[in-house]
Structure 1
């Protein structure tokens, strides 16, 4: 089967195991069904996910101009403590920023490699954790806007990492963590203004099972700019990574906006 389209992050379903779908404009691939099959990937161009022009991707699926101007790529995306919509202050587009920032957000602990802290919109649970390849995750506190989530994350960064070791995650080297105990400890680090939200939050532990036949001993990232033609047997999927038999791993999220041909043998 042959497919052509522009890469976007895979859609997921929180089932056992996680179900993955690579969606193009005219078709989609249920990726779980192609595990153990040979896949050929050919990079044939670029399409900016924002302006839809055939321009080289700069970052996050956007061309340079869109990345520098679009509200979807504002600094507050990566640094939620910079959010200002709750003050009525515009960064790039106040209407969009109010829509995204002024909704419930979750500060969470997740274990994808080590124990990490993170922020996501409540509507993105548990998708955010699946995209990170988390084995376990738990909400620390639910707050009413992105700014409060951001200042909470900043307070906790001195105690937890905010990064996932992607190699350990893909090799399934998971730090054993008692999340119930971690939550109790985390509560002592929270700013005073966040404590009431913590007490009202449901601290349910989520667990995730990924469709992986064999985890790699070592990992080599596929770079479509350097290797525009690749072929390998798919052995599993974790996070937004495809894992191939020879240890090559392909991060779909890193290549959003890349136009590809995919042939499943």
Structure 2
């Protein structure tokens, strides 16, 4: 059976194991059902997720022009401390920025490769942690806007990584750390204006269980631009990656905006 469409990040459903779905305009595919089966992926072209034009993807599923004009990819997305909507100051589109920035945000610790600190909107829990391939995650603070979350993350970057080592995450080479105990160390490290939001004793440790038959010992990343036709046996799904028997891994998130055919 063949499916065709524009890649967007896989939609997920929290469970044991997590369920993954590839969603196209006219169809969808439960990827869990493809485990231990051969999967063929063919690169067809590009379609910008913003303007829908068949233009080469620059970053995050957007063409060059949209990446530098759309409010959805402003600098404050990657650097929450640059958020200014709480001051009524526009970056690209104040209406959009108020909608996204002025809502509850969570600062968290996650175990994906090592302990990492991060920020997400409250509505994205636990989706954000699943997308990162975290085995466990726990909230540190819940704050009313993205700026306060950002300055908290900046303060904690001196003590924790803020990026995931994707190779360690995909080989499941993750050192166990007691995140509940780790959170207890943080009260005096977060900014004074965030102290009142600190979760000291909240019991909200999440554990994620991924549909993986066997973890690879070494991984090599699939680029559709370099390898436009790929066939392999699917042995797992973790984060936003498909894992194949030969150690090839395919990052769906970084391939957003690519038009593909998927043959099962």
- Could you state the TM-score of these two structures normalised by the residue count of structure 2? 0.99
CA contact (8 A) 2:140 2:199 kept: no
Q: SS state of the match for residue 187, structure 1?
A: coil
Q: SS state of the match for residue 217, structure 2?
A: coil
Aligned to 2:85: 85
The alpha-carbon deviation at position 99 of structure 1 amounts to 0.1
Question: How big is each residue's C-alpha offset from its partner over 1:55-79, in whole Å with a ceiling of 9 and x where there is no partner?
Answer: 0000000000000000001000000
Aligned to 2:159: 159
Q: SS state of the match for residue 186, structure 1?
A: coil
* CA distance in 1 between partners of 2:228 and 2:132 (Å): 25
* CA distance in 2 between partners of 1:260 and 1:201 (Å): 47
Aligned to 1:127: 127
The alpha-carbon deviation at position 186 of structure 1 amounts to 1.6
CA contact (8 A) 1:46 1:259 kept: yes
Cα distance change on mapping 1:188 and 1:255 into 2, 3 Å? same
Aligned to 2:23: 23
Unaligned runs of 5+ in 2: none
**1:12-161 equivalence runs, <5 A:** 12-161=12-161
Question: What RMSD, in angstroms, separates the aligned Cα atoms of the two structures?
Answer: 0.9
CA contact (8 A) 1:139 1:203 kept: no
* CA distance in 1 between partners of 2:76 and 2:260 (Å): 31
Aligned to 1:248: 248
CA contact (8 A) 1:41 1:229 kept: yes
Cα distance change on mapping 1:66 and 1:199 into 2, 3 Å? same
* CA distance in 1 between partners of 2:200 and 2:206 (Å): 18
* CA distance in 2 between partners of 1:194 and 1:73 (Å): 26
* CA distance in 1 between partners of 2:118 and 2:87 (Å): 23
The alpha-carbon deviation at position 204 of structure 1 amounts to 1.0
* CA distance in 2 between partners of 1:127 and 1:202 (Å): 20
Aligned to 2:175: 175
Query: How many residues end up aligned between the 2 structures?
Result: 264
CA contact (8 A) 1:141 1:201 kept: no
* CA distance in 2 between partners of 1:209 and 1:263 (Å): 26
The alpha-carbon deviation at position 34 of structure 1 amounts to 0.4
* CA distance in 2 between partners of 1:55 and 1:203 (Å): 47
Unaligned runs of 5+ in 1: none
* CA distance in 2 between partners of 1:111 and 1:197 (Å): 22
Q: SS state of the match for residue 151, structure 1?
A: helix
* CA distance in 1 between partners of 2:69 and 2:149 (Å): 24
* CA distance in 1 between partners of 2:180 and 2:90 (Å): 39
Question: How big is each residue's C-alpha offset from its partner over 1:160-212, in whole Å with a ceiling of 9 and x where there is no partner?
Answer: 00011100100011111011110001222111111110048834100000000
Moved over 3 A (4+): 199-203
CA contact (8 A) 1:142 1:201 kept: no
* CA distance in 2 between partners of 1:189 and 1:204 (Å): 20
